[in-house]
């Protein structure tokens, strides 16, 4: 361990010789196997066990399930052209339920090695990880894995293999163009010729790239011949995977000093020309410390350990760290760097690195500085591309365990911001929401079991949304004291405007120099100019517009109106589900002259009364989450797979057949997905599987709406009747 630490410390202060990278891919495309082999050649694990050991899967569940559930960090030194380079590597999960770990990893790194299975090709999660990387300004390069299977199992000709590789590279570059601006997409385009693509077999430990072929004289024909001869051992010696791959990482992924040029403006909304902004842009190790927590774990021996990317300054053992979000100070009891499940303790870690800091009780996404330094704007929130859509109710079997349960769940939500926890501290009922059933099972239920907390868990609950189809007439809401009246109407937001509010509004509002820029963007998305000029509030995917003229004392009550708007959008009138796509307009108001009669206790109910009246007269709809997915199945069972989709209220989007294989693209209600994986396996003789493309929301069929509303209301303890204007 001493030699390993000495090697790392010899490079840790030289940003030009540091590469912070993630390995990301669709599930089972070979990320963890590749990582094992990189570590083996770095002398960190046995070469014989590489590929089987799953060194980075150090959680018991990961070993049991054979999948990566948590992102794992490791630092290693790689020699290239006579120089040592520090590779800070994160192996990420491939299963879509753990995609939040991928998103958080992307905040920590500057480059990503995207793996694609040569047999499967580009899959939905491949595109998702590209989107996650590019949203964070992280540069991708490509490794096409399992090439040995094309030769040995599929027995493709060299021409057929070249065609397959060309298709994969084209599809990855298409995703690059889709999620990056034109200039970036052109600069980061991946190709065999420029060395940003490598091929190989992570399981058999060999790889090649154009630069490596030019350097060694090995040709692709040699590779085919040697694989056909079963000479993987010889290939492993002549074209070692770690040399080819890490040379590509060093040559084509950027160092932290280079990446600061575009990453800091992309993910930090502060002034880059300020003193601390320049510290980050210049990557100044002697400047003000600024770090972002990208992962939190609870170690039974060491306590809380925060993984953090350092963007400027240096973190030292004993530093008092101030969290800009939590507004609390926490001591760095130890600082170190990662080596898989081990942490190597050091006195200090300079910026440009990924540090392990023991002690601070910070949440994932927290921006921190040293206590007493100038406070700055926090980095943007780390937001996952998908939102939680599956919920379970969790209760302790023993009432005495309630405090322990609440504490454990709150910690879990701090560690993983794609887990949402809603707690009723009086009844002990707790609603936990996640990206999928496996997400909750692996990261919450299993965690509580390990903590010795016995729980009762409900069947999965799907959170619906509420919306409207039409514009309402003008309606009047009255305050409880009858002294105040508000005249409003509601209407659906244009789809392009709703999409802008969901995907771009928060980021633009943080980064824009003034409100004009935000208003112009809303107008470009399709909002009326007059409405854009008079927005009182934008909340989630909803807008509150002041369409009135000269209401006396409006400014004094506006805060109450906005609070009421938030409450209404959080719990809609149909079944207390969140509201989306709603535009509320305030047209007029009659307010009591005396401020004491128009306080929050009067104005909040009046506002919600008007909004409810308008909503119920605008053809209200229950909106359900659906998964847009790809199903891969043998051609001879395609019909059975389609039947399974149709039986679950699914819609077929399109189908492709190639040889003995078929691809079905479809959308299925999340509510109908429980048990779908097992049913699909049964229908396709164990050979069919599905992959998530996107999560969308669409109105529930009208003939199912009333039944579903009453079902949700019953579950929530609400009145067992449809909502009405008289309530």
DSSP bridge pairs for 542: 539
Residue 654 has pLDDT above 90, yes or no: yes
Q: Is the alpha carbon torsion for 709, 710, 712, 717 positive or negative?
A: positive
What CA–CA distance (Å, rounded) separates 435 from 99? 8
Query: Whole domain around residue 435: which residue ranges?
Result: 390-453
End position of a domain, from candidates 426, 453, 480:
453
Instruction: Tell me what the mean pLDDT of segment 47-68 comes to.
Output: 45
Residue 445 has pLDDT above 80, yes or no: yes
Query: What integer pLDDT is reported at residue 116 of this predicted model?
Result: 96
Residue 648 has pLDDT above 60, yes or no: yes
Residues 188, 285 share a domain: no
Query: What integer pLDDT is reported at residue 57 of this predicted model?
Result: 42
Q: How confident is the model at residue 660 (pLDDT cuts 50, 70, 90)?
A: confident
Instruction: Tell me what the mean pLDDT of segment 35-45 comes to.
Output: 68
Mean pLDDT of the chain: 88
Q: How confident is the model at residue 439 (pLDDT cuts 50, 70, 90)?
A: confident
Instruction: Tell me what the mean pLDDT of segment 602-629 comes to.
Output: 96
End position of a domain, from candidates 210, 235, 254:
254
Residue 226 has pLDDT above 80, yes or no: yes
Q: Among the listed ranges 21-25, 62-66, 313-317, which one has the minimum average pLDDT value?
A: 62-66
Percent over 70 (pLDDT), the chain: 92
Instruction: Tell me what the mean pLDDT of segment 614-622 comes to.
Output: 97
What CA–CA distance (Å, rounded) separates 205 from 172? 24
Instruction: Tell me what the mean pLDDT of segment 371-377 comes to.
Output: 91
What CA–CA distance (Å, rounded) separates 523 from 539? 17
Per-residue model confidence as pLDDT tens digits over 564-611: 999 999 999 999 999 999 999 999 999 988 888 889 999 999 999 999
CA distances from residue 405 to 230, 390, 396 in whole angstroms, order as listed: 55, 20, 7
Residue showing tokens 């699909």:
680
Residue 64 has pLDDT above 50, yes or no: no
Q: How confident is the model at residue 5 (pLDDT cuts 50, 70, 90)?
A: confident
Instruction: Tell me what the mean pLDDT of segment 45-68 comes to.
Output: 45
Percent over 90 (pLDDT), the chain: 59
Instruction: Tell me what the mean pLDDT of segment 119-125 comes to.
Output: 89
Burial class (CB in 10 A: 0-12, 13-18, 19+), 327: exposed
Residues 527, 394 share a domain: no
Residue 52 in domain: yes
Burial class (CB in 10 A: 0-12, 13-18, 19+), 563: middle
Instruction: Tell me what the mean pLDDT of segment 13-38 comes to.
Output: 87
Residue showing tokens 């090649």:
208
Query: What integer pLDDT is reported at residue 46 of this predicted model?
Result: 46
pTM: 0.81
Residue 639 has pLDDT above 50, yes or no: yes
Residues 200, 138 share a domain: yes
Residues 223, 276 share a domain: no
CATH number at residue 597: 3.30.230.10
CA nearest to 117, candidates 126, 109, 108: 126
Q: Which residues contact 351 (CB under 8 A, 6 or more apart)?
A: 15, 256, 283, 284, 285, 287, 289, 290, 310, 311, 312, 313, 314
Query: What integer pLDDT is reported at residue 691 of this predicted model?
Result: 85
Query: What integer pLDDT is reported at residue 562 of this predicted model?
Result: 96
Residue 383 in domain: no
Residues 217, 283 share a domain: no
**Coil, strand or helix at 364:** coil
Number of domains in the chain: 5
Residue 264 has pLDDT above 90, yes or no: yes
Residue 43 has pLDDT above 70, yes or no: no
Residue 96 has pLDDT above 70, yes or no: no
Residues 96, 188 share a domain: yes
Residues 313, 241 share a domain: no
Q: How confident is the model at residue 671 (pLDDT cuts 50, 70, 90)?
A: very high
Residues 528, 472 share a domain: yes
End position of a domain, from candidates 191, 226, 254:
254
Residues 43, 91 share a domain: yes
Residue 714 in domain: no
Residues 494, 407 share a domain: no
The residue ranking higher by pLDDT, 634 or 510, is 634
Residue 15 has pLDDT above 60, yes or no: yes
Residue 293 has pLDDT above 50, yes or no: yes
Query: What integer pLDDT is reported at residue 174 of this predicted model?
Result: 96
Query: What integer pLDDT is reported at residue 65 of this predicted model?
Result: 40
Q: Among the listed ranges 191-195, 217-221, 275-279, which one has the minimum average pLDDT value?
A: 217-221
What CA–CA distance (Å, rounded) separates 455 from 281? 49
Residue 424 has pLDDT above 70, yes or no: no
Per-residue model confidence as pLDDT tens digits over 123-159: 888 898 899 899 899 999 999 999 999 999 888 999 9
Query: What integer pLDDT is reported at residue 55 of this predicted model?
Result: 44
Residue showing tokens 């800009």:
324
The residue ranking higher by pLDDT, 360 or 436, is 360
Q: How confident is the model at residue 419 (pLDDT cuts 50, 70, 90)?
A: confident
CATH number at residue 678: 3.30.70.240
């Amino acid at each position: 361990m001493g030699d390993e630490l000495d090697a790392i410390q010899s490079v840790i202060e030289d940003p030009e010789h540091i590469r912070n990278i993630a390995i990301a891919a669709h599930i089972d495309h070979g990320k963890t196997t590749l990582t094992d082999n990189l570590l083996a050649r770095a002398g960190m694990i046995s070469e014989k066990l590489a590929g089987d050991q799953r060194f980075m899967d150090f959680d018991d569940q990961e070993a049991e399930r054979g999948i990566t559930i948590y992102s794992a960090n490791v630092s290693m030194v790689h020699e290239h052209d006579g120089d040592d380079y520090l590779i800070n590597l994160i192996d990420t999960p491939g299963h879509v339920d753990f995609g939040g770990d991928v998103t958080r990893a992307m905040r920590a790194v500057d480059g990503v090695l995207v793996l694609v299975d040569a047999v499967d090709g580009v899959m939905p999660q491949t595109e998702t990880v590209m989107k996650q990387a590019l949203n964070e300004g992280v540069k991708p390069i490509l490794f096409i894995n399992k090439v040995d299977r094309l030769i040995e199992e599929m027995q493709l000709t060299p021409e057929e293999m070249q065609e397959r590789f060309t298709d994969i590279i084209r599809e990855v570059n298409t995703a690059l163009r889709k999620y990056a601006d034109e200039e970036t997409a052109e600069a980061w385009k991946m190709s065999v010729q420029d060395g940003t693509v490598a091929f190989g077999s992570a399981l058999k430990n060999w790889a090649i790239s154009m630069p490596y072929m030019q350097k060694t004289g090995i040709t692709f024909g040699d590779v085919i011949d040697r694989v056909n001869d079963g000479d993987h051992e010889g290939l492993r010696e002549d074209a070692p995977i770690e040399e080819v791959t890490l040379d590509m990482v060093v040559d084509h992924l950027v160092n932290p000093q280079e990446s600061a040029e575009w990453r800091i403006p992309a993910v930090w909304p502060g002034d880059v020309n300020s003193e601390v902004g320049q510290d980050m842009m210049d990557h100044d190790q002697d400047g003000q410390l600024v770090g972002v927590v990208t992962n939190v774990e609870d170690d039974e021996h060491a306590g809380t350990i925060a993984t953090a990317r350092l963007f400027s300054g240096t973190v030292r053992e004993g530093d008092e760290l101030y969290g800009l979000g939590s507004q609390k100070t926490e001591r760095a009891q130890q600082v170190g760097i990662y080596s898989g499940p081990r942490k190597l303790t050091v006195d200090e870690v300079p910026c440009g690195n990924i540090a392990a800091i023991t002690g601070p009780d910070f949440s994932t996404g927290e921006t921190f500085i040293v206590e007493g330094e100038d406070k700055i704007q926090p980095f943007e929130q780390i937001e996952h591309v998908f939102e939680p859509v599956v919920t379970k109710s969790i209760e302790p079997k023993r009432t005495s365990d309630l405090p322990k349960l609440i504490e454990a769940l709150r910690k879990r939500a701090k560690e993983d911001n794609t887990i949402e926890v809603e707690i009723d501290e009086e009844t002990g009922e707790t609603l936990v929401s996640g990206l999928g059933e496996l997400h909750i099972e692996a990261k919450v239920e299993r965690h509580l079991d390990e903590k010795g907390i016995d729980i009762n868990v409900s069947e999965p609950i799907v959170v619906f949304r509420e919306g409207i189809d039409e514009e309402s007439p003008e309606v009047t809401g009255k305050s409880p004291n009858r002294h105040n009246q508000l005249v409003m109407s509601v209407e659906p937001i244009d789809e392009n405007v709703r999409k802008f509010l969901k995907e771009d509004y928060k980021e633009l509002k943080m980064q824009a120099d003034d409100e004009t820029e935000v208003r112009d963007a809303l107008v470009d998305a399709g909002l009326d100019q007059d409405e854009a000029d008079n927005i009182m509030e934008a909340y989630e995917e909803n807008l509150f517009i002041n369409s009135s003229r000269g209401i006396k004392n409006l400014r004094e009550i506006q805060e109450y109106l906005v609070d009421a708007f938030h409450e209404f959008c959080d719990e809609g009138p149909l079944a207390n589900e969140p509201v989306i796509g709603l535009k509320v307009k305030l047209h007029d108001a009659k307010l009591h002259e005396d401020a004491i009669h128009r306080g929050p206790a009067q104005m909040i109910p009046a506002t919600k009364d008007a909004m409810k009246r308008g909503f119920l007269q605008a053809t209200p709809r229950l909106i359900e989450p659906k998964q847009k997915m790809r199903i891969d199945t043998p051609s001879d069972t395609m019909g059975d797979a389609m039947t399974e989709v149709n039986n679950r209220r699914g819609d077929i989007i399109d189908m492709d057949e190639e040889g003995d294989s078929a691809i079905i693209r479809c959308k299925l209600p999340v509510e109908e997905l429980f048990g779908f994986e097992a049913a699909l396996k049964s229908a396709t003789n164990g050979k069919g599987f599905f992959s998530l493309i996107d999560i969308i929301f669409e109105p529930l069929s009208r003939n199912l709406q009333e039944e579903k509303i009453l079902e949700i209301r019953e579950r929530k303890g609400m009145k067992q009747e449809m909502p009405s204007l008289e309530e």
